[in-house]
Amino acid sequence: MNRPRRAAVVGAGGWGVQHARALSSRRDTVLTLKKQDSRA
């Protein structure tokens, strides 16, 4: 059994949203989201 690929999208601009949508639709990929700290 193959392990799922792990992916991260840095930045939530227009292209970041498109990349997240594409990656999340793949069966062999796990996309983990992390809430950005607003104090940064």
Mind listing the pLDDT tens digit for each residue in 2-23? Answer: 888 888 777 767 888 888 888 8
**Is the CB of residue 7 less than 8 Å from the CB of residue 29?**
yes
**Is the CB of residue 7 less than 8 Å from the CB of residue 30?**
yes
Q: What is the pLDDT of residue 40?
A: 53
Could you tell me the residue ranges of all domains in the chain?
A: 1-35
Q: What pTM was estimated for this model as a whole?
A: 0.57
**Is the CB of residue 29 less than 8 Å from the CB of residue 4?**
yes
Reported confidence tier of residue 32, pLDDT bands at 50, 70, 90: confident
What does the DSSP assignment read for 1-40?
-PPPEEE-----SHHHHHHHHHHHT-TTEEE---PPPTT-
Report the distance separating Cα 10 and Cα 19, nearest Å.
Answer: 10
